[in-house]
Copies of this chain bind each other. A is one copy, B any other.
Amino acid sequence: MTTEDHPASPCNGGGCGKGATSGTSKHKDENILQSLSKIRHKLLVMSGKGGVGKSSVSAGLAVQLAQMGHQVGLLDVDIHGPSLAGIMGVKGLLDITEDKKVLAKQVHERLKVVSMQSLMQDSDQAVIWRGPAKSGVIRQFVGDVLWGDLDFLIIDAPPGTGDEPLSVAQTIPDANAVIVTTPQDVALSDVRKSINFCHTINMKIVGLVENMGPFDCPCCGKPLALFKSGGGEATSTRMKISFLGTLPFDPKVVKACDNGDAVDLAAAAPSFMAAVGSVAGKVIEFVDS
């Protein structure tokens, strides 16, 4: 398979206008509507800044919901730093159907994954695109995936409040946001920007997840606050959004994600996944209400 078979690659995506799958933006919009119509709930996992573990939280939430019996899709739309393929152990390029649709990769009985990384041949290559080109690629990418029937689509959004999360939000207007942060003030000031971003574009917010919480000292078991503590709940209260819970810091999560074993997180990092389970419960309560 060559890059030319890939609908979202720079040279036949929105970047240079030579669309292989669809000539007009009307076709693209129809593709997107069709692709999203069979998905009951879309969750956009966002963060004001990178490095807060947004991809690990997205992966954990997707695995947890699948284990609870839901049909789940997991998608990353980060052109500059796509990492879900690595975290979920999806290697190589994705399969493409005859009519140029991307087939999501099945990693668990009820969990499928699509990462932008799987559409790039050299994963070390920097992608240097200006805003409008990226927006076209994101729209085409979302529209070209064949998901089938899903209960949940978890979308790992690019960090920040720039072009990329804006394009994702505009492409999937009925998505609800789950915002991830770490406990310290610098990250929380960024999260307040994310909340205001959602308000500005009229996206509903499920709530805030505080990641990288207490780390249990390997000597005495006492929880250590590596990145301070309590900031997530305080910000949720101040900004009047739901607090979904604190996830502990666990080097075993870092290791499992690095090794591409996130699908087995329940075995590798049980206390982390127990906390994710509680977050998943609150997410289900929100979408069912």
Contact = CB atoms under 8 A, between A and B. Distances in A.
Contacts of A217: 217-219
B49 A258 contact: no
Size range of the chain A interface in the assembly: 35 or more
Number of copies: 2
B123 A196 contact: no
Contacts of A226: 215, 226, 249, 251, 254
A161 B128 contact: yes
A193 interface: yes
B227 A218 contact: no
B184 A258 contact: yes
Contacts of A27: none
A133 to B, nearest CB: 9
A258 B193 contact: no
Given A81-B49, A128-B161, A131-B130, A123 B258 contact: no
Interface stretch (A50-58, A143-151, A240-248, A279-287): A50-58
Interface in A9-47: none
B186 A80 contact: no
Contacts of A160: 50, 80-81
A219 B219 CA distance: 6
A184 B81 CA distance: 14
Contact of A124 (B125, B196, B220): B196
A80 B193 contact: yes
A219 B224 CA distance: 11
B83 A186 contact: yes
A190 interface: yes
A166 interface: yes
A269 interface: no
Contacts of A196: 124-126
A131 B163 CA distance: 7
Contacts of A186: 55, 83, 86-87, 257-258
Given A81-B48, A251-B227, A124 B258 contact: no
A171 interface: no
Contact of A131 (B83, B131, B219): B131
Interface in A184-213: 184-187, 189-190, 192-194, 196-197, 200-201
22 contacts: A48-B81, A50-B51, A51-B51, A79-B162, A80-B162, A80-B190, A81-B189, A125-B193, A126-B193, A127-B193, A129-B162, A131-B134, A132-B132, A159-B159, A184-B254, A215-B226, A217-B218, A218-B224, A219-B219, A226-B254, A228-B254, A228-B258
Given A49-B81, A79-B162, 13 more contacts: A51-B52, A55-B186, A123-B189, A126-B161, A128-B161, A128-B200, A129-B162, A185-B258, A186-B257, A218-B224, A225-B251, A226-B249, A228-B254
